[in-house]
Amino acid sequence: MRKFLLSCLAIIISLLFGALILWLMGKDPIAAYTNLLQGSGLMHKARYAGRQSMFTDFMSFIDAMTPMIFASLSVAIALKGGFFNIGVSGQMMAAGFVAHMLSLAVPSKILVIVAGIIAGAVLGALMGWLKYKFNVNEVVTSIMFNSIIMYLVTFYINTFYINPVSRQSKSIIDTARLTLSGYRWENLKVDIALAFPLAVAVALLLQWFLERTTYGYEIKAVGLSPKAAQYAGMNVNRISLLTMTISGALGGLAGVAYFCGYLASIQPGTTPSMGFDAIAVSLLGGNNPAGCVLASFLITIISKGSIYMSSRQHIEPEIASLITAFILTFAACSAVLSRKGKK
Amino acid sequence: MAEPIVEMRHITKRFPGIVANDDVSLSVNRGEIFAVLGENGAGKSTLVSMLFGMYEPDEGEIYVRGKLEHINSPRYATQLSIGMVHQEFRLVSNYTVTENIILGLEPEKKLFGLFPYVDIKKANHDIAELSERYKLKINPEDVIENLNVASRQRVEILKMLYREAEILIFDEPTAVLTPQEIESFLQIIEGLRGSGKTIILITHKLNEIKAVADRCAILNRGKLIDILDVPSTSTDEMARLMVGHEVSFTTPKTPAKFGDTVLKAENMSVKNPSGYEAVKSVSFSIHSGEVFAVAGVSGNGQNELADAIAGLVSCSGGRITLNGRDITNASVRDRIEAGAAYIPEDRHNVGLVLDFTLRDNFPLRRYYSDKFSRKGVLNDAAFNEYGRHLQENYDIRSGQGMATITRSMSGGNQQKAIIAREIDMKTPLIIFMQPTRGLDIGAVMNVRKQIIAERDRGAAVLLISLDLDEIMDCADTIAVIYNGSISKIAPAGELTVDDIGLYMMGVGKTA
């Protein structure tokens, strides 16, 4: 409860800071924040283009939120198990890339999902293994892997798989894409995120897994006190490896939901910032799976709504990243506060 | 006539729940080696920490060179030419000796009369000279992490000398040294005395005091027992004063009825993480219905011994058998299953997951068993019922019942929870490591009763304690550990406190 209140406080303070900055820029913060909600399909816009409505906006919003749920769950379970996985971006990119390549041979949505899970899990397991075998800090390996993967994927795309017009990778074939793009419904064109139900199901499953299974009990014990876990007869190394494998698999799911769903292509030369935003989301959600879904909802409003906000108010869309950054800062502070509150 | 350089008058220091120093008055003379002797928790460290400005006394006054001083920080103590070597060295391990020593007092030079830089050449030279003068044999350019413990200690001494300290305080300086290193350390401090320094030495090793000290203050439970002139007092006399006070209470106990051998250790050796052999070829056996107590001064291998039997560290040699089964290489879980319960010394980091609720901590070592889980799914009802059972039967108090986060509970109740959990497994072997450390008298009594009750149930009890009262109170058989070896094993009735004290100091006849 205390955690929840602190998270709310973090959001409120961040929004107030954002408002202050908007006001200093000579903009109307209330109008700007309204635009965020409108852009996310949560409030009516003044007018809509053809074949669009608040409903289509909302469905696009869900489409953007789906990978964020996976990514934040990836961070959350790693934190529960005592790891700081900041390599979600790399895991996303690797998974997205592998899925793209496989879809060239076998265009199947199921295969895309499975490939994403496996690619991410392998990377996560590798980090866990490096940690316990050589005691290399996972923060270091995950940052390094982000760069390695990004450059490898960039090299391959630029050399063999580029769409010369968009300067992105070629697009994934529709039969393998996890988002039904431009689906005709009544007189609307809707984007349907097919992975969204999976994201919610995975969050619920993870909640149950952490609270009710022996594995969950072990992961939490190792995360909170490795020495006590060893004393309890747990195999700390094996459990750490398991934690990172699950975290990586979730990062991989985020990757396919993003690169083979929300987007249909991979942009070379950059890692998705979602992998880092996911840290804010996870902290904001108290590293709790259900909390992650709620926090993903909030953060996605800011990131998704920022495009509409910037066009209406003539504000740089980066202001949204700024507010997210505030939230990360305050959420990190509140994580410390909630620990202090316990004594 | 000796001239007092430090005087402490009627010093009292209280911490929540305990009086660490109770009306202690003493004076230290210029140019002497003054030892402070006492058991663990007698208040030695607290007393001298006040001299170094780490605590301020609640009552009483400290005079330095005849002047009343309020020493409120180590910085001020340094200004008064007081230096201290702590038990844990305070050195930057990837810096050189010189860099460590000059830290905060760097000799400066200016490049082109403008840009300040550290004159490391001069510093190296000064420190080499200082090292030479006091015969410390330290190369100023060595990097700390390449030095052994004894050399690091000498660096700490140099650090004080570089700051021109005249009063040198050592907190348990020999606890981490080998006998040969101790020998040369004692020579060093005699040399320091020879050059006019005053030395205050905290220790509980009698033979060291006998070897070098001029006078010695004995503390017990915060009170000053006596100040002795060392050359005219025997070590036996000092040991008696240090530990030989009336036992304040005893636990009712019937004669032991030994059964079969439960735990057997044969030539067991254990290395600590730095590769030092902390337990050296130890052999003993414990029977059902026996409290086998291991006495010894802190850091003589007790932790490693207990951890190795519980399986938290592996043996480097020898064999452990539990009820006839070889468990030398068994995992922790196998040993739990085989019947080894363990109450570890570090209840915060090892014995409990502090951020778990009390309910989740109870089955910590058995959560995987059929009783608490089925096919990998935890049985909530069993968790709740077990928690209720333990809380009621072992009188564990917590603010919000079983949902209390363990961190927020008092130390006594945390320990009760661990003991309840381990005892309730009704195992053939129970290891108690320092089970009453930091508990109040009522809780201490209670734990000791439980130890006896477990013995009467037929368990083999291994009790490792630094508290001699506890050992005398509970033991059927007493073993004394010194420097990793068991120097004596005897039935409890055959040893007096004085005997044990001597074996603990390594001065007893070898067994």
Closest C-alpha to B336, from B322, B317, B319, B357: B322
Which residues, including other chains, have CB under 8 Å from residue A60's CB and lie 6 or more apart? Answer: A41, A191, A304
B374 Cβ under 8 Å from any chain A Cβ: no
CA distance B144 to chain A (A): 23
Question: Is the pLDDT score of A342 beyond 70?
Answer: no
B344 Cβ under 8 Å from any chain A Cβ: yes
Among A215, A217, A224, whose Cβ lies nearest the Cβ of B355?
A: A224
The domain in which residue A126 lies consists of 2-19+26-340
In DSSP terms, which residues pair with B320 in a beta bridge? B265
Q: Which residue has the tokens 């390599």?
A: A87
| A338: closest chain B residue by CA | B355
CB burial of residue B126 (10 Å; 0-12, 13-18, 19+) = middle
| A342: closest chain B residue by CA | B408
User: Which residues in A lie closer than 8 A to residue B360 (C-beta atoms)?
Assistant: 217
3-class DSSP assignment, residue B223: strand
Q: Report the number of secondary-structure helices (H) and strands (E) in chain A.
A: 13, 4
How many residues can be counted in chain A?
Answer: 343
Per-residue pLDDT of A166-183, as tens digits, reads: 999 999 999 999 999 988
User: Which residues in A lie closer than 8 A to residue B368 (C-beta atoms)?
Assistant: 214, 233
From residue B219, alpha-carbon distances to A94, B63, B202, B242, B245 in Å are 66, 20, 11, 7, 11
* Pairing, β B215-220 against β B33-37: parallel
Output the pLDDT for position B109. 82
The CATH number, out of the four listed (3.40.50.720, 3.40.50.300, 3.40.228.10, 3.40.50.2300), of the domain defined by the range B340-426: 3.40.50.300
Mean pLDDT, residues A104-108 taken together: 93
What CATH number is attached to the domain comprising A110?
A: 1.10.3470
| B308: closest chain A residue by CA | A231
From residue A140, alpha-carbon distances to A124, A128, A152 in Å are 13, 12, 18
**B64 vs A230: CA distance, rounded Å:** 50
From residue B216, alpha-carbon distances to B45, B199, B208, B231, B236 in Å are 15, 12, 11, 10, 14
User: Which residues in B lie closer than 8 A to residue A343 (C-beta atoms)?
Assistant: 407-408
Which residues, including other chains, have CB under 8 Å from residue A159's CB and lie 6 or more apart? Answer: none
Q: How far is CA B431 from the centre of its chain?
A: 18
Question: Is the pLDDT score of A66 beyond 60?
Answer: yes
List the pLDDT tens digit at each of the 511 positions of chain B: 478 899 999 999 887 666 788 899 999 999 999 999 887 667 888 899 899 998 899 999 999 999 999 999 998 999 999 999 987 788 898 899 999 999 888 888 888 878 888 888 889 999 999 988 888 888 999 999 888 878 888 899 999 999 889 999 998 887 667 667 788 889 999 999 998 999 999 987 778 888 899 999 998 878 898 898 999 888 778 877 876 554 445 677 888 889 999 999 999 999 988 788 899 999 999 999 999 999 987 778 999 999 999 999 999 999 999 999 999 999 999 999 999 999 998 888 899 999 999 999 999 999 999 999 999 999 999 999 999 999 988 888 888 889 999 988 877 788 999 999 999 999 999 999 999 876 766 677 889 999 999 999 999 999 999 878 789 889 999 999 988 999 899 999 898 877 887 888 777 654 4
Task: Please name the amino acid found at residue B60.
Answer: G
Among A212, A227, A231, whose Cβ lies nearest the Cβ of B377?
A: A212
Among A217, A231, A342, whose Cβ lies nearest the Cβ of B351?
A: A231
- CB of B36 closer than 8 Å to CB of B48: yes
**Where are the domain boundaries for CATH 3.40.50.300 in chain B?**
4-243, 248-336+430-435+459-511, 340-426
Q: Which residue has the tokens 């096919």?
A: B375
**A272 vs A253: CA distance, rounded Å:** 14
Least confident of A115-129, A149-163, B34-48, B263-277: B34-48
Which residues in chain A (2-31) have CB-CB distances under 8 A to chain B? Answer: none
B177 Cβ under 8 Å from any chain A Cβ: no
User: Which residues in B lie closer than 8 A to residue A214 (C-beta atoms)?
Assistant: 367-368, 373, 376-378
**B492 vs B504: CA distance, rounded Å:** 15
Tell if the CB–CB gap between A231 and B354 is shorter than 8 Å.
no
Which residues, including other chains, have CB under 8 Å from residue B178's CB and lie 6 or more apart? Answer: B150
Mean pLDDT, residues A39-43 taken together: 91
Neighbours of B237 (CB within 10 A): 15
DSSP state of B300: S
Least confident of A208-212, A225-229, B392-396, B507-511: B507-511
Least confident of A96-105, A275-284, A334-343, B279-288: A334-343
Output the pLDDT for position A338. 65
CB burial of residue B232 (10 Å; 0-12, 13-18, 19+) = exposed
Mean pLDDT, residues A258-280 taken together: 92
Output the pLDDT for position B510. 46
CA distance A223 to chain B (A): 10
3-class DSSP assignment, residue B267: strand
- CB of B465 closer than 8 Å to CB of B293: yes
In CATH, B248-336+430-435+459-511 is 3.40.50.300: yes
Tell if the CB–CB gap between A213 and B378 is shorter than 8 Å.
yes
Computed over every residue of chain A, the mean pLDDT equals: 91
**B451 vs B290: CA distance, rounded Å:** 10
Among A221, A235, A342, whose Cβ lies nearest the Cβ of B405?
A: A342
Interface mutation vs chain B, best among A231, A237, A238, A340, most B CBs within 10 Å = A231
Output the pLDDT for position A250. 98
B365 Cβ under 8 Å from any chain A Cβ: yes
B227 Cβ under 8 Å from any chain A Cβ: no
Percent composition of chain A: helix, strand, coil (DSSP 3-state, to 5): 75, 5, 20
A219 Cβ under 8 Å from any chain B Cβ: no
CA distance A84 to chain B (A): 18
Task: Kindly state the helix (H) or strand (E) to which residue A77 belongs, with its residue range.
Answer: helix A54-80
User: Which residues in B lie closer than 8 A to residue A221 (C-beta atoms)?
Assistant: 353, 356, 364
**A134 vs A210: CA distance, rounded Å:** 27
**B353 vs B346: CA distance, rounded Å:** 11
Ranges assigned E (strand) in chain A: 162-163, 168-169, 179-185, 188-193
User: Which residues in B lie closer than 8 A to residue A220 (C-beta atoms)?
Assistant: 353, 356
**B304 vs B277: CA distance, rounded Å:** 10
Among B344, B377, B408, whose Cβ lies nearest the Cβ of A213?
A: B377
From residue A249, alpha-carbon distances to A68, A80, A102, A222, B407 in Å are 14, 15, 17, 20, 33
* Pairing, β B340-343 against β B429-433: parallel
- CB of A99 closer than 8 Å to CB of A115: yes
B16 Cβ under 8 Å from any chain A Cβ: no
- The secondary structure of B33-79, three-state, reads EEEEECCCCCCHHHHHHHHCCCCCCCEEEEEECCEEECCCCHHHHHH
Mean pLDDT, residues A46-67 taken together: 92
What the block records as the tokens of B219 is 């503390």
A214 Cβ under 8 Å from any chain B Cβ: yes
CB burial of residue A134 (10 Å; 0-12, 13-18, 19+) = exposed
Question: Is the pLDDT score of A341 beyond 50?
Answer: no
Looking at the structure of chain A, the number of domains it has is: 1
| B347: closest chain A residue by CA | A228
**A78 vs A74: CA distance, rounded Å:** 6
Higher pLDDT, A296 or B252: A296
- CB of B37 closer than 8 Å to CB of B217: yes
Dihedral pair phi/psi, residue A153, rounded to 5°: -65, -45
CB-based burial, B481-498: b 16+ in 10 Å, e otherwise: bbbbbbbbbbebeebebb
Output the pLDDT for position B221. 78
Tell if the CB–CB gap between B344 and A231 is shorter than 8 Å.
yes
**B13 vs B21: CA distance, rounded Å:** 5
User: Which residues in B lie closer than 8 A to residue A231 (C-beta atoms)?
Assistant: 310, 312, 332, 342, 344, 350-351, 364-365
In CATH, B4-243 is 3.40.50.300: yes
* Pairing, β B377-378 against β B477-482: unpaired
| B335: closest chain A residue by CA | A233
Tell if the CB–CB gap between B353 and A221 is shorter than 8 Å.
yes
| A232: closest chain B residue by CA | B365
Output the pLDDT for position A172. 92
A230 Cβ under 8 Å from any chain B Cβ: yes
Which residues, including other chains, have CB under 8 Å from residue B177's CB and lie 6 or more apart? Answer: B149, B150, B153, B185
**A49 vs A307: CA distance, rounded Å:** 15
Output the pLDDT for position B252. 75
Output the pLDDT for position B506. 77
Task: Please name the amino acid found at residue A102.
Answer: L
